[in-house]
């Protein structure tokens, strides 16, 4: 039987790398019994807080195990709306919120809402690895615009304006994975101006909004003329250590959210009620937990910067999220070759910058997701490895 072009083409042209080669190799090494330091993916080493697990358990045992409402339970939708309204000052009610199976399903839902088949969606390079397939999965055509390392990976308004001609949607992410950039007010105002000028949907991925180390997170939905064209993607995964719960949301205009109910019916048919109850408790009673998670990555970021000081891959501290992006161009290697060599010779797994697009070529991304001591030791070894290569280059 013939598979659809859509499923075959999700990762791009046939044979194109999906960018996960180093990660797959690292997994294979672990399965073969080898010990290595895994700094590849945004998966916490911390465990979900007991009060969240207790809430899930009580909900399930209390009988909330049947089909849940497709757009989400009222209580959780209200909790999300209250949080968003408090953070942004934009009037937000439960009717502006759709609960989804994680931020990933929220990204797909927003693309489905914004794009007709063949419409162009612009993403900022470097980008989170699933963005291209999410655009293609919704029938869209992908276009990228580079955010340059020399500009702190903040996209430039004139580049955005040129790249979005004829496009239907722009997808941005701040705080940013993989670079840790937090878009400044000037960057956001530039983005908003381009979206108004080009009449674009703006999809704003804010799954790291709880992890800002420097500056402040500004949601573009709060900027003039933007609430009606902005679809915000949020998640419990990063801020509350709930990656495996698969729970997130879309915030958007009421009519858009109401229309997306048919997508929920056609795909997930709602998120399990006991997961939603756990998320609601986390949002309503979890301020201390969220602060602790943010403090953990803030501390590791500082330790990572200190461990790399004086080396050819020294970095200025990233402003947000749970990663550090290292410029390894001084070694004369590509990010991919460096990451593979680091894995084979030093048993340290990091992601090549090329996995996130072209603009981060010659970089590697380090996820700050092992204990402080192990992380700092691995980074000191990485720095020595880079120094030896840079001298030989
Ligand atoms: N967006 C970004 C930028 C991410 O880094 C991730 C996960 O790593 C997601 C969205 C998806 O998160 P989740 O589906 O776990 O909510």
Residue 232 Cβ inside 6 Å of ligand 1? The answer reads: no
Helices vs. strands in the chain: H and E counts, helices first: 14, 12
Which whole number is the average pLDDT over 214-237? Answer: 96
Cβ atoms of residues 267 and 71 within 8 Å: no
Residues near 150 by beta carbon (within 8 Å), at least 6 away in sequence: none
What pLDDT does 20 receive? 86
Q: 10 Å Cβ neighbour count for 344?
A: 10
What pLDDT does 391 receive? 87
Cβ atoms of residues 200 and 165 within 8 Å: no
Query: Of 7-21, 173-187, 236-250, where does mean pLDDT reach its minimum?
Result: 7-21
Closest atom of ligand 1 to CA, residue 105: 14
Considering all CA atoms of the chain, what is the largest pairwise distance in Å, rounded to the nearest integer? 65
Q: Give me ligand 1 centre to Cα 216, in Å.
A: 20
Domains of the chain: 5-47+288-392 (3.90.1150.10), 51-285 (3.40.640.10)
Closest atom of ligand 1 to CA, residue 176: 3
What pLDDT does 330 receive? 93
CA 112/CA 41 separation, integer angstroms: 27
Q: Give me ligand 1 centre to Cα 293, in Å.
A: 16
What pLDDT does 155 receive? 97
Burial of 303 (0-12, 13-18, 19+ CB in 10 A): middle
What pLDDT does 11 receive? 84
Q: Give me ligand 1 centre to Cα 126, in Å.
A: 15
Q: How much of the chain, in percent, has pLDDT values that exceed 70? A: 100
Residue 106 Cβ inside 6 Å of ligand 1? The answer reads: no
Query: What does the angle CA 214 – CA 216 – CA 221 come to, to the nearest 5 degrees?
Result: 150
Q: Average pLDDT, whole number, for the chain?
A: 95
User: Residues 236-251: pLDDT tens digits?
Assistant: 999 999 999 999 999 9
Closest atom of ligand 1 to CA, residue 248: 16
Ligand 1 pocket mutation pick from 104, 249, 368 by most atoms within 8 angstroms of CB: 104
Ligand 1 pocket mutation pick from 101, 131, 237 by most atoms within 8 angstroms of CB: 237
- Closest residue by CA, ligand 1 atom 7: 42
Pair of tokens at residue 351: 């992601």
Residue 220 Cβ inside 6 Å of ligand 1? The answer reads: no
What pLDDT does 12 receive? 83
Q: Give me ligand 1 centre to Cα 43, in Å.
A: 10
Phi first, then psi: what are they for 13, rounded to 5°?
-65, 150
Residue 205 Cβ inside 6 Å of ligand 1? The answer reads: yes
CA 90/CA 85 separation, integer angstroms: 5
- Closest residue by CA, ligand 1 atom 16: 103
When pLDDT is cut at 50, 70 and 90, the band that residue 13 belongs to is confident
Which whole number is the average pLDDT over 287-291? Answer: 97
């Amino acid at each position: 039987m013939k598979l659809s072009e859509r499923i075959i083409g999700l990762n791009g042209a046939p044979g194109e790398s999906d960018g996960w080669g180093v990660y797959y190799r690292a997994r294979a090494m672990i399965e073969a019994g080898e010990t290595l330091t895994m700094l590849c993916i945004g998966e916490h080493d911390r465990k979900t807080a007991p009060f969240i697990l207790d809430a899930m358990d009580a909900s399930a045992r209390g009988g909330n195990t049947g089909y849940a409402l497709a757009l989400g339970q009222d209580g959780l939708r209200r909790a999300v709306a209250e949080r968003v309204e408090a953070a942004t000052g934009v009037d937000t009610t439960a009717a502006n919120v759709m609960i989804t199976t994680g931020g990933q399903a929220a990204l797909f839902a927003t693309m489905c809402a914004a794009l007709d088949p063949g419409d162009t969606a612009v993403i900022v390079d470097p980008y989170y690895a699933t963005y291209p397939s999410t655009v293609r999965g919704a029938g869209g055509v992908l276009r990228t615009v580079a955010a340059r390392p020399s500009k702190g990976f903040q996209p430039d308004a004139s580049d955005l304006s040129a790249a979005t001609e004829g496009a239907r949607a722009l997808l941005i992410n701040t705080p940013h994975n993989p670079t840790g950039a937090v878009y400044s007010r000037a960057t956001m105002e530039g983005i908003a101006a381009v979206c108004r000028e080009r009449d674009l949907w703006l999809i704003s991925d804010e799954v790291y909004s709880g992890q800002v180390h420097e500056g402040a997170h500004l949601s573009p939905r709060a900027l003039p003329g933007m609430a009606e064209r902005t679809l915000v993607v949020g998640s419990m995964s990063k801020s509350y250590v709930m990656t495996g719960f698969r729970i997130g949301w879309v915030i958007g205009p009421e009519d858009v959210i109401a229309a997306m109910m048919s997508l929920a019916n056609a795909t997930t048919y709602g998120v399990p009620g006991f997961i939603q109850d756990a998320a609601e408790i986390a949002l309503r009673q979890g301020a201390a937990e969220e602060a602790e998670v943010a403090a953990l990555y803030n501390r590791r970021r500082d330790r990572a910067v200190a461990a790399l000081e004086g080396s050819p891959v020294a970095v200025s501290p990233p402003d947000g999220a749970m990663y550090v992006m290292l410029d390894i161009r001084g070694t004369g290697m590509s990010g991919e070759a460096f990451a593979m060599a680091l894995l084979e010779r030093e048993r340290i797994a990091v992601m090549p910058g090329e996995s996130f697009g072209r603009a981060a070529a010659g970089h590697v991304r380090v996820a700050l997701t092992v204990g402080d001591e192990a992380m700092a030791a691995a980074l000191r070894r990485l720095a020595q490895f880079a120094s030896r290569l840079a001298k030989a280059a």
